[in-house]
Amino acid sequence: MSAHDVDRHTFGIDCWRGAVQPMVRAHRHDDIEVNVADVDLTYVIDGRTHVLPAGSVSLFWAARPHRLDASSGAGRQAWVTIPLARALAWGLPGEVVRRLVHGEVLTTRTDLPLSAGAAEEWAERVGRWQRELHDAGPHAEVSRRVALMEIEAAASRWAWTVDGEDGDAVGDAPRPATGHAGAMIAYLSEHARHDVTVADVAAHVHLHPQYAMTLFRRAVGITVGEYLAQCRVAHAQQLLLSTELPVPDVGFAAGFRSLSQFYDRFGRMCGESPGAYRRRLREAGPAGLGEARTGALTPTRAR
């Protein structure tokens, strides 16, 4: 598998718990990643440092290049990955999905009954889910089904207890219809580097283009074009870090059809040009494509 393909991989619904293990290199995958630890975790996401506080549950969209920095303390960590399309099908709040796609790192509030004692409780549960998802015994199917149901319920709890943009919890915001939106997300993630049109996306879910776009925006909070640009910029970021492709070639490889569009979208989303982004992160140290957490996976899955 080439460097151009590795970063499009999704880990599916998976989880792990163990000692904090910093990542040598950055990587990306099309999942919502949920972290909880008994120490502060320092992540470099999009080339910027984010401290995930100990004792809280934190979520970010892992399609953006990220790595766990060595400055994180020695402790225990648990993570869960959930494909974005699956999260939409579960009916997570549109506000939360939109903010994740725009690159925010969200942290659950600890002053709400839903989240009381969340960190310790969820870390213990993640260890159990890990065993159940990879159970090879006679009751493996039942164990996996139960784990998936519990992870869905936990994801809802996490999403509904993050801070809203007005400082309050997301709370009882209405849930949009998201079944079709999840299918559209999956299609766009798979075809982001191709010449995708609104008609293509609508045809994939057998809906009229205008209605399909309305459903998508209601569920995700942004348009199909904006989501597609987010995917392409995230792919371009990884190529800038992990390959020696000239900057113009990076834009075309990521799916942009013109250099002006590439530079405009990248600059607006990242606050700097593609060349400046590459120089800044390479000067800061290793951040190319590579393994995630040594020893954090089952023998049958490579990250």
**In this structure, is residue 172 part of a structural domain?**
no
**In this structure, is residue 302 part of a structural domain?**
no
**In this structure, is residue 169 part of a structural domain?**
no
Looking at residue 189, which CATH number applies to its domain? 1.10.10.60
Q: What is the pLDDT of residues 163-216, one digit of tens each?
A: 655 545 454 444 444 568 888 888 888 888 888 899 999 999 999 999 999 988
Looking at residue 22, which CATH number applies to its domain? 2.60.120.280
Please tell me the total count of domains within the chain. 2
Q: Which domain holds residue 119?
A: 3-160
Spell out the residues 6+ positions from residue 137 whose beta carbon is closer than 8 angstroms to its own.
143
Average pLDDT of span 278-289? 66
Structure tokens at 232: 């392409």
**In this structure, is residue 168 part of a structural domain?**
no
Q: What is the pLDDT of residues 70-114, one digit of tens each?
A: 887 788 899 999 988 888 878 777 778 888 888 899 988 765 544
Mean pLDDT highest for which of 1-10, 39-48, 215-224? 39-48
Q: What is the pLDDT of residues 13-61, one digit of tens each?
A: 999 999 998 888 888 888 999 998 888 999 988 888 999 988 888 999 9
* Residues 54, 117 share a domain: yes
DSSP-derived 3-state class of residue 262? helix
The angle at the Cα of 82, spanning 288 to 202, to the nearest 5 degrees, equals 95
* Residues 219, 137 share a domain: no
Structure tokens at 26: 């950055």
* Residues 280, 185 share a domain: yes
Res. 259 pLDDT band, cuts 50 70 90:
very high
Q: What is the pLDDT of residue 117?
A: 53
Average pLDDT of span 224-253? 90
Please tell me which residue, 285 or 46, carries the higher pLDDT value: 46
Q: Does the pLDDT value for residue 4 go beyond 60?
A: no
**In this structure, is residue 166 part of a structural domain?**
no
* Residues 121, 14 share a domain: yes
* Residues 97, 24 share a domain: yes
Spell out the alpha helix ranges (H) of 134-273. 140-160, 179-191, 198-204, 209-220, 224-242, 247-253, 259-270
**In this structure, is residue 301 part of a structural domain?**
no
